[in-house]
């Protein structure tokens, strides 16, 4: 039922946004120009003297309270994706977001043609991946049996050779299209090496992007970091932030407002949001967003991502081989140079914290 795929070929370069014309995708704007990379937008600010990259999503200014609840809106989203796609590919990490989305597809009996996961081996083929450490495959098989669903599952491996390529092309091919961490890519870098993921008749479903609610002002907005700053991903549907289904967007925002749940990156706020919205869960440790994170115990005024257990495992994996060690050196050197060039765009002037987030405009909740 599960096919593991591991190969290394010359990459197919993706240098433009690939998607559906009627969907409003998250993007940055600087001086009237659109950018699909946070890094490119920051460089444009420096080049043009623009103060800060703007972040755009929905063109509308306000949202009415929907007549359906969150769960019904999730089922509606599954139907929209199924009805507008000749093929549906769901990216499944085993975390609670992707688990909830997949179980919505299964419970609503909507079509999923393929389930895809990926594993990262930046230095050597050791048991470094959450996919293996938390038995994601076994849990996924159990879930499919629960619904008597026979859906092919493919697991793509990114090998030390892939990360060697990334480390040699950080400026153009990797850093612009990933989160801030060394090993933090999503679909775009994967698809460059596995071009079968670039089927323009297939929707790649990913499960990020919660709204942030301002309780006092009755508004909500999005932060680019909530999309993992990965807006270049090809043919994706951001399940929870789809302009074709404002009922889902609004049902989340109104629920968070009604239950006084606020916060942006705080783990406790994310966990409370999902618990309150009654996300599907199978009890996996991956459904707790604090798994493996020791950074909160460190004596620092700010959270440094390099001290997250997940990242430390990857860094430890990199130093187990010569190819991995050389890649890690190039990552560190590039990051230090990038921090020097664009220091004001990082939290506390430190690339080891994160980008300072860009936010969308405030969307008004009109029925409160």
pLDDT digit string, tens, across residues 236-259:
999 999 999 999 999 999 999 999
Q: Write out pLDDT tens, residues 45-89.
A: 999 999 999 999 999 999 999 999 999 999 999 999 999 999 999
How do the domains of the chain map onto residue ranges? 2-365
- State the pLDDT at residue 303: 72
Edge-to-edge order in the sheet of strand 62-63: 62-63, 363-365, 219-221, 212-214
Residue 164 scores a pLDDT above 50: yes
Residue 297 scores a pLDDT above 80: no
Residue 294 scores a pLDDT above 90: no
């Amino acid at each position: 039922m599960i096919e593991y795929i591991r190969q290394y070929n010359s990459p197919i370069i993706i240098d433009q946004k690939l998607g559906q014309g009627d969907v409003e995708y998250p993007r940055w704007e600087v001086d009237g120009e659109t950018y699909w990379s946070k890094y490119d937008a920051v460089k444009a600010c420096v080049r043009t003297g623009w103060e800060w990259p703007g972040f755009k999503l929905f063109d509308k200014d306000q949202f009415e309270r929907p007549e359906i609840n969150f769960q019904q809106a999730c089922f509606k989203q599954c139907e929209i994706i199924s009805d507008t796609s000749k093929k549906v590919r769901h990216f499944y990490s085993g975390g609670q977001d992707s688990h909830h989305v997949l179980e919505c597809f299964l419970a609503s009996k909507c079509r999923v043609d393929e389930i895809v996961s990926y594993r990262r081996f930046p230095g050597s083929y050791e048991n470094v991946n959450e996919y293996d450490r938390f038995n994601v495959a076994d849990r996924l098989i159990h879930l499919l049996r629960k619904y008597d669903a026979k859906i092919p599952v493919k697991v793509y491996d990114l090998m030390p050779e892939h990360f060697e390529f990334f480390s040699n092309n950080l400026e153009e091919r990797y850093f612009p299209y990933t989160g801030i961490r060394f090993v933090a890519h999503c679909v775009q870098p994967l698809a460059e090496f596995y071009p079968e993921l670039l089927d323009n008749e297939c929707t790649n479903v990913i499960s990020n992007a919660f709204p942030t609610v301002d309780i006092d002002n009755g508004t909500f907005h999005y932060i680019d970091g909530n999309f993992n700053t990965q807006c270049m991903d090809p043919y994706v549907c951001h399940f929870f932030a789809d302009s074709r289904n404002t009922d889902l967007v609004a049902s989340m925002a109104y629920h968070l407002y009604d239950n006084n749940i606020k916060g942006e990156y705080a783990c406790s706020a994310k966990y409370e949001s999902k618990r309150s919205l009654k996300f599907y869960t199978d009890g996996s440790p991956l459904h707790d967003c604090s798994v493996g994170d020791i950074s909160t115990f460190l004596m620092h005024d700010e959270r440094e991502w390099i001290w997250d257990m997940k990242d430390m495992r990857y860094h430890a994996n990199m130093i187990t081989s010569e190819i991995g060690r050389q890649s890690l050196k190039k990552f560190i050197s590039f990051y230090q140079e990038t921090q020097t060039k664009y220091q004001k765009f990082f939290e506390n002037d430190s690339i080891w914290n994160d980008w300072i987030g860009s936010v969308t405009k405030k969307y008004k909740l009109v029925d409160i």
